[in-house]
Copies of this chain bind each other. A is one copy, B any other.
Amino acid sequence: MKNYNIGLIGAGFMAKAHSLAYATMPMFFWPAPGIPIRKSICDVSIDIAKDAAQKMGYEKFTDSWKDIVSDPDIDIVDICTPNNIHAEIAIAAAKNGKHVFCEKPIAMTAQEAKDMLDAVQKAGVKHMLAFNYRRTPAVALAKDIITKGEIGEIQSFRGMYFQDWSASPESTLSWRFQKEICGTGALGDIGTHVIDMAQYLVGDIDMVSGFLKTYIKERPLQEAGQDKLGALQGGNKTGAVTVDDETAFSMRFKNGALGHIEASRNAWGRNNYIAFEIHGSAGSIFFNYERRDELQLCYATDPQDRRGFKTIYTGPNHAYGELWPIAALGIGYSETKIAECYDLIKAIAQDEEATPNFNEGYKIALVCDAVVKSDKQNGAWIFTGV
């Protein structure tokens, strides 16, 4: 088992999730395909970086991401920053021969994503995006069922990602509401997770028609240092929200299936409701991440009087079965990140293509760009160019 030194850029909640996975992945998947070593961590504040290194177990710290991408000790650059510097960091890391693991969405625009893809391909390094929700064992089970043809030909997909942490106008203006930092709002932040699932489970998306909507136009500024999702304690000053609170778009897949995706951060009562329902010619699937240990599955071929959605709890008989020895011991955010880490290290150690990689991320970015364009054209159908 070879060691892989991680250089992590960013020290927020996502850094915590990644670091947990690096620290513990081999406990679950053993012998591990490789051992991730928490080598260096970076934050723009040297104090935060120092503190984060201690807190998350990194050997070194820095306040410059350039130190990370140029550090000869580092094998894998892990990008947990806001979206606006994904591209610059990833390209620099690739040029230095580092494997790149990047938080979603891949970038601010499809053009940036294309540049990133070109860079990693040119450098011949591995590249992967942190769409961790597809690592939920129940989602991987859905993929297995579909791949085996158990629900026949896919006819339609509808996906949702609903949250309410920023549904209140008192929720502060984090970077996730500022276009120059995040690119888009609900679309890029959460909608991309659903696009990833749609692409993963059904196939490439050919056309979209949709819109973006901003319900809350001004939010209280955050105080310095503060960046907590949904924090309500802002100051008296406010700033403009320059991205969408909600998006919804219809789509046509290249294989002819129909789809619809909605993403909203203004859905009171929905906390982290990532759901999809897929209808096939021979069955259906339903998934809701809020009840993520479960997959709902209906087979058309069941006897008429014994037919219905089956609630399958994922466990040792399913993908990522190494996680826990019986079903419903519990899949949490941790477990999705541990599974993701396994797939990342495995791809690198075994010189396989990682997934979802920058190519898939680029296609997601093309879909996002098309949605933005459709919105500007009053919902016109736009080819994604995927």
Taking beta carbons and an 8 Å cutoff, which residues of A are in contact with B?
A: 13, 16, 19-20, 23-24, 26-28, 30, 32, 51, 55-57, 141, 151, 155-156, 158, 162-165, 167-168, 209-211, 213, 215, 228-230, 246, 248, 250, 258, 260, 262, 264, 266-273, 279-284, 286, 289-294, 296-300, 302, 304-313, 315-318, 324-336, 338, 378-381
This protein's copies in its complex: 4
CB–CB A156/B246 < 8 A = yes
CB–CB B27/A16 < 8 A = yes
Q: Which of B23, B268, B284 contacts A268 (CB 8 A)?
A: B284
CB–CB B56/A271 < 8 A = no
In angstroms, Cα B302 to Cα A167, docked, is 13
In angstroms, Cα B20 to Cα A286, docked, is 31
Jot down 14 A-B pairs with beta carbons below 8 A, ordered by A. Answer: A13-B325, A20-B24, A23-B57, A167-B300, A230-B325, A230-B326, A260-B260, A266-B281, A271-B327, A292-B330, A302-B310, A308-B312, A309-B310, A310-B311
CB–CB A326/B272 < 8 A = yes
Question: Which B residues lie within 8 Å of A294 (CB)?
Answer: 290, 308
Question: Which B residues lie within 8 Å of A335 (CB)?
Answer: 330, 332-334
CB–CB B27/A290 < 8 A = no
CB–CB A298/B250 < 8 A = no
CB–CB A330/B327 < 8 A = no
Question: Which B residues lie within 8 Å of A151 (CB)?
Answer: 268
In angstroms, Cα B267 to Cα A312, docked, is 15
CB–CB B258/A168 < 8 A = no
CB–CB B328/A330 < 8 A = no
In angstroms, Cα B324 to Cα A58, docked, is 21
Question: Which B residues lie within 8 Å of A326 (CB)?
Answer: 163, 165, 229-230, 271-272
In angstroms, Cα B268 to Cα A75, docked, is 47
CB–CB A266/B250 < 8 A = no
A334 CB to nearest B CB, Å: 4
In angstroms, Cα B20 to Cα A197, docked, is 29
CB–CB A329/B155 < 8 A = no
Q: With A300-B168, A306-B310, A381-B378 as known contacts, state yes or no: A209 contacts B211, CB within 8 Å.
A: no
A69 CB to nearest B CB, Å: 24
In angstroms, Cα B165 to Cα A43, docked, is 46
In angstroms, Cα B159 to Cα A208, docked, is 20
